[in-house]
Structure 1
């Protein structure tokens, strides 16, 4: 259950944005309010973490321009979507470029470690195994 709607968010209070993936991310392709929200969050040095199919939302919002990234879409769907800079795609499981962390779904453990470090959280990395 969400704590607040997009309209209730105070952007100065946000230190991070975590976007999970879903089976059919393309159903969100016309959600302009969502893309405006993502753009607004990205205007400051907020940590943005996106896994599985959700980097599509970052690309659609223009946040991945000029950034290295990975995504849990097939290369065919990545190209077909028309929103990704294909030359910046990486086949790595997790990619961090500045304050943006992207990952494929199978890289969820490493993704969590990257996010924890980016947020300066204290945790024992040896506890988490891939």
Structure 2
């Protein structure tokens, strides 16, 4: 059996850790290895205040080892889109339909600047004024919806981080149920909060 390919996660200053947390949990459940990339192998602070040390730099990325790329949103996106190291890294995915790309919240702006979203439909978590400011954001391609899938590219609003994770997992062929991580069920029933450890066969 061929070894499962890995998932690459791209991080940058003020990235939103919570927006990719469920995707990471699902990958862990299906034993999919995650490798975290950034421009430098130095601590990167998330918007929540956590400190992350990337596993590898862009120079160490070998696209043949990966079938998935995840981009979390970011609080201060203007700083990131002006850093050409991130844009140059993303340009290699333009026209590539073999790798699943999941981009949530404000992060599709990085893909748009890199040309990856040309001719694709997508959603993006930005203010209307921000969309007007950047000419590479084509309003004709932007869909006002919480989650948009166009071929191998999945985009979502930050508030749809659960649905985003499930859509990415299903695109990768994982048997991921629609109700995973769905939160509290109402009405409250004891049987919904009673669990048993099933012995392995």
**What TM-score comes out, normalization by structure 2 length?**
0.61
Residue 60 of structure 1 is matched in structure 2 by 113
Gaps of 5+ in 2: 1-52, 184-201
* Matched residues, number: 130
Structure having the higher strand fraction is 2
Separation in 2 of the partners of 1:120 and 1:3?
25
The residue that corresponds to 1:41 in the other structure is 93
2:144 aligns with 91
Tell me the residue number matched to 2:196: none
Consecutive unaligned residues in structure 1, runs of 5 or more = none
1:97 & 1:13 partners in 2: Cα distance? 23
How far did 1:33 drift?
Answer: 2.2
Tell me how large the CA RMSD over aligned residues is: 1.4
C-alpha separation between the residues in 2 aligned to 1:42 and 1:83? 14
Give the aligned partner of residue 28 of structure 1: 80
User: By percentage of residues, which structure has more helix?
Assistant: 1
Match of 1:114 in 2: 167
TM-score, with normalisation over the residues of structure 1? 0.92
Cα separation, 2, equivalents of 1:127 and 1:57: 29
CA pair 23-35 structure 1, distance change in 2 beyond 3 A: same
Q: Distance in 2 between matches of 1:120 and 1:42?
A: 22
Find the aligned partners of 1:114 and 1:31 in 2 and give their Cα distance: 29
Q: Secondary structure at the match of 1:12?
A: helix
Is the Cα–Cα contact under 8 Å of residues 42 and 48 in structure 1 kept in the other structure? Answer: no
Is the 1:11–1:41 Cα contact (8 Å) retained in structure 2?
A: no
Max radius of gyration: which structure? Answer: 2
**Does the Cα contact within 8 Å between 2:94 and 2:115 map onto a contact in 1?**
no
